Amino acid sequence: MFRSVSKFSVPRGSAKVFFFRPFNMRGLTVDALNPAILNVQYAVRGELAIKAEEYRVQLKTNTAHGLPFNKIISSNIGNPQQTGLDQPPITFNRQVAALMEWPALAELARDAFPEDVIARAKELQSEIGTIGAYSHSQGVPFIRKNVARFIEERDGYPSNPNHVFLTAGASAGVTLLLTMLISNPKSGILIPIPQYPLYTATLAAHSGLGIPYHLDEEADWATSAPEIEAAIAKAVAEGIEPKALVVINPGNPTGAVLDEATMEQLVHLCAQHNLVLLADEVYQSNLHARATHPFTSFKKVVRALGSAVPLVSFHSISKGVTGECGRRGGYFECANIDEDIIALVYKMVSVGLCPPLAGQVGVDCMVRSPRPGDASYALWKTETDATHAALEQRTKTMAARLNALPGVSCVDSPGALYLFPRIRLPTAAIEAARKAGKEPDTFYALELLDDTGICVVSGSGFGQKEGQYHYRLTCLCPGVEEYVGALERFHRKFMERYGA
Ligand SMILES: Cc1ncc(COP(=O)(O)O)c(C=O)c1O
């Protein structure tokens, strides 16, 4: 009837306590879980990233590792401060964070902190108290006021701090909004293809339906209102109820930056089809061609048009020049959303108590960076200029080198942190991939990893047109020469091996 006593069941020094497990107990099995979980896919940390991690351990623990490379290049993830990518944190942000963690430092190491940092930390301490306490569920009111001021200065239109919600990164806000909008099994959310897989993963987990609309690679990954209209018509014909339009601007993985005329069309389209506009603007300060491709927020366009379209815009401290992914900070702003719905959003965030205080402080530093005349301004400017310049230079160099390769075309992205080159794979490579049970671009990316230690994400993880193959790589890696050189050598070898 009972299985033998588990070998872990007798605590040391105790001969008397026994725990029994019934023989017929199966324990927790996969089929007992919410089946929706099984449909969730998140390629950014999928098969390739897992294999790269195994290689990383092998390189670290085994000097005779036998691998044809000596390091892993993490080009799969937009995690700027990750070891190997090494984007330096902004000194001002870290100094404020340090004083928030341990206020006594201001006295103990007075010379280490410029005056404006000490003043900022004191101000935040008086508003927050200790960061070890829960805050208001919507986020510290003072920080929300600062976010609202940042939005007003950016757009030239008022922002209501009561309609700003601080979050644990943009992901938390996106997940909340998507789950609130999926009201029945026929609820559909329009998502760009290719897309950042947070969207498909969240929809899968909460049994919502993605309505894909394709971005136009031939037109530098442009977003097309007629393409979205066609996607809506198809979905409606299939009995799906479109609830919201997701736009990622600047785009991930494409790096495309929307122009205002297209944004206006999208706002009109949302009005016409009664859609909530979900604007993912986490890359708004990652711009590599500001003169030709400036960033305009959807909030500004909605207000300039005098539109009543419900809009939720997301921002984050994970990207931009801040790059504080691990701190988990972000916010979303609701515009044209009724108070009864704001109250429900508040009810839902209050279930989670509050966003991390360290992340909220990070948001405050992002929206209130040092200004000319402040003691920290010169260093802040030098640091942020260097990060912008490195990203711009790497993006351009990599795009040019990729475009020079046979069978590769790559839109030179004006924004975000990535390139999304298209690879035209030889038939023999596609057949070899199918034989190996892999998507052809995953097969290519796995061979790239095995050969060079470069970890990218295959295009199938983001969605792409049938029969097309891509991969996404970040432009954050230092040492572009070495890195792109290895990529080029691999590509030529791969194409030769499969008879291109
Ligand atoms: C388009 C997009 N939205 C949201 C996120 C999530 O960012 P966060 O770290 O703020 O949750 C990412 C992260 O890569 C992203 O690329």
Long-range contacts of 405-413 (CB under 8 A, 24+ apart): 405/488, 405/491, 405/492, 406/491, 406/492, 406/495, 406/500, 407/491, 407/495, 407/500, 408/491, 411/217, 411/220, 411/221, 411/254, 411/255, 411/256, 413/221, 413/250, 413/251, 413/254, 413/255, 413/256, 413/288
- Distance of CA 396 from the midpoint of ligand 1 (Å): 23
Instruction: Tell me the backbone φ, ψ of residue 315, rounded to 5 degrees.
Output: -140, 165
Mutation probe of ligand 1 site: the residue of 248, 284, 319 with most atoms within 8 A of C-beta: 319
- Distance of CA 170 from the midpoint of ligand 1 (Å): 6
**Atom number in ligand 1 closest to CA 317:** 10
Nearest CA to ligand 1 atom 14: 78
User: Rounded to whole angstroms, what are the CA distances from 262 to 57, 231, 296, 451?
Assistant: 47, 17, 11, 42
| Alpha carbon distance 46, 325 (integer Å) | 19
| Alpha carbon distance 103, 113 (integer Å) | 12
pLDDT tens-digit readout, 326-343: 999 999 999 999 999 999
Q: Which residues pair with 371 in a beta bridge?
A: none
Tokens 């890359």 correspond to 283
Mutation probe of ligand 1 site: the residue of 79, 252, 476 with most atoms within 8 A of C-beta: 252
Nearest CA to ligand 1 atom 7: 170
| Alpha carbon distance 391, 411 (integer Å) | 16
- The average confidence (pLDDT) of the chain is 91
Q: Which two tokens stand for residue 249?
A: 């601007």
pLDDT score for 3: 36
- Distance of CA 213 from the midpoint of ligand 1 (Å): 20
Pocket of ligand 1 (CB under 6 A): 78, 169-171, 196, 198, 248, 252, 280, 282, 316, 318, 325, 330
- Distance of CA 172 from the midpoint of ligand 1 (Å): 10
**Atom number in ligand 1 closest to CA 325:** 9
- Distance of CA 315 from the midpoint of ligand 1 (Å): 9
**Atom number in ligand 1 closest to CA 330:** 10
| Alpha carbon distance 77, 51 (integer Å) | 14
Handedness of CA 127, 130, 131, 132 (dihedral sign): negative
Instruction: Tell me the backbone φ, ψ of residue 312, rounded to 5 degrees.
Output: -125, 125
Mutation probe of ligand 1 site: the residue of 75, 178, 198 with most atoms within 8 A of C-beta: 198
Nearest CA to ligand 1 atom 13: 78
The DSSP 8-state label assigned to residue 318 in this structure reads S
**Atom number in ligand 1 closest to CA 174:** 4
pLDDT score for 499: 82
Q: Which fold has domain 134-367?
A: Aspartate Aminotransferase; domain 2 (3.40.640)
**Atom number in ligand 1 closest to CA 248:** 1
- Residue ranges per structural domain of the chain: 43-86+384-497, 134-367
Mutation probe of ligand 1 site: the residue of 79, 215, 258, 282 with most atoms within 8 A of C-beta: 282
Q: By C-alpha distance, which of 315, 236, 308 is closest to 276? A: 308
What contacts 120, CB < 8 A, 6 or more positions away? 96, 368
**Atom number in ligand 1 closest to CA 44:** 14
- Distance of CA 306 from the midpoint of ligand 1 (Å): 29
**Atom number in ligand 1 closest to CA 171:** 11
- Distance of CA 492 from the midpoint of ligand 1 (Å): 33
pLDDT score for 4: 33
What is the block-wise mean pLDDT of the chain (500 residues), using blocks of 10 residues?
A: 34 46 72 83 79 92 86 88 84 98 92 95 96 95 98 98 98 96 93 92 91 96 97 97 97 96 98 98 94 96 98 96 95 97 96 95 98 97 94 92 94 93 95 94 95 93 90 86 90 90
**Atom number in ligand 1 closest to CA 77:** 14
E strands within 42-146? 73-74
How large is the angle between the packed helices 339-351 and 169-181, nearest 10 degrees? 120
SS3 state of residue 381: helix
| Alpha carbon distance 398, 120 (integer Å) | 40
- Distance of CA 146 from the midpoint of ligand 1 (Å): 22
Instruction: Tell me the backbone φ, ψ of residue 141, rounded to 5 degrees.
Output: -55, -40
Q: By C-alpha distance, which of 245, 279, 309 is closest to 151? A: 279
- Distance of CA 404 from the midpoint of ligand 1 (Å): 30
| Maximum alpha-carbon separation in the chain | 78
User: Rounded to whole angstroms, what are the CA distances from 419 to 45, 111, 459, 476?
Assistant: 18, 43, 11, 11
Look up the CATH superfamily of 43-86+384-497.
Answer: Aspartate Aminotransferase, domain 1 (3.90.1150.10)
